[in-house]
Amino acid sequence: MTEQTALVDKRDGGDKPDSAVVRDALGVGVAVGLSGFAFGVTSAGSGLTLLQTCALSLLVFTGASQFALVGALAAGGNPLTAAAGAFFLGVRNAFYGLRLSQLLALPSAVRPFAAHWVIDETAAVALAQPTRRSVRLGFTVTGLSLYVLWNLTTLVGALGAEAIGDTDTWGLDAAAPAVFLALLAPMLTTGVERAVAGLAVLLGLGLLPVLPAGVPVLVAALAAPVVLWAHGRRTDPAARGGDR
């Protein structure tokens, strides 16, 4: 029996009430879905039309990438650079998909639609479940509630931004960074994760005055390999020359 098969069998041997899975999934979906309002406000305030703002939430549906894209555009960045930064932030979802495809084991016809819901929140809820049934239920409820609410609040936020006019006057230009940091902070549970986040912040803020808009976020992505390399050097005796 392979390690992968053993893990799936181990998960299928557990049990968790459906009501508990639904409760946890709805809690995540509602809490995060409401932050779509901040994206709608930020996107409309950066100059995107109502249709463009709603299309981003409907078709892209990954908050960090959406915020990065409209933030770079609002700062006057090149659209290609802004899109590249958003793309690199969204690459992590592909790795979630590799793991979730094993646990969900969905029919081929359903996988393209399920892939659209592979984001941080659905992955977190699904991976926390003990059985395949609860994995599927958690993923579906989280994805559906979050997708519906995120898009509704995006629409409300964009309409509200158009109604109030200049969002900078109300301080709403800071809404996107504030929401993103609030979502990110609880995920930083290890020293390595905090080090990556800290170095990324330093690189992004330090290079902001000297590089074109959208480029600092690309450079900040180098924080992860740099920190992981340094961590490996520190924990591997052979790398430090300890095994001679």
In terms of domains, do 170 and 217 share one? no
Q: What is the pLDDT of residue 164?
A: 64
pLDDT tens digits for range 35-70: 898 889 888 888 889 999 999 999 999 888 888 888
Asked if the model's pLDDT at residue 88 lies above 70, the reply is yes
Domain boundary among 151, 168, 187: 187
In terms of domains, do 239 and 178 share one? no
Q: What is the pLDDT of residue 170?
A: 58
Q: What is the pLDDT of residue 97?
A: 92
In terms of domains, do 150 and 227 share one? no
In terms of domains, do 29 and 150 share one? yes
Phi-psi region of 214 (alpha: psi -120 to 50; beta: other; left: phi over 0): left
In terms of domains, do 197 and 180 share one? no
Q: How many domains does the chain have?
A: 2
Q: How far is CA 165 from CA 25, 35, 162, 168, 176, in A?
A: 36, 20, 5, 9, 17
In terms of domains, do 217 and 148 share one? no
Confidence bin at 123 (pLDDT 50/70/90): very high
In terms of domains, do 32 and 93 share one? yes
pLDDT tens digits for range 148-202: 999 999 999 999 877 666 555 555 556 556 666 666 666 677 888 788 888 887 8
In terms of domains, do 50 and 125 share one? yes
Please state, in angstroms and rounded to a whole number, the distance separating the CA atoms of residues 27 and 115. Answer: 21
Question: What rounded mean pLDDT belongs to the chain?
Answer: 81
In terms of domains, do 142 and 229 share one? no
Q: What is the pLDDT of residue 169?
A: 58
Q: What are phi and psi of 48, to 5 degrees?
A: -75, 150
In terms of domains, do 142 and 211 share one? no
In terms of domains, do 71 and 86 share one? yes
Contact by Cβ (8 Å): 142, 28? yes
Domain membership of residue 37 as a residue range: 3-187
Enumerate residues 6+ apart whose C-beta is below 8 A from 115.
97
Please state, in angstroms and rounded to a whole number, the distance separating the CA atoms of residues 208 and 217. Answer: 9
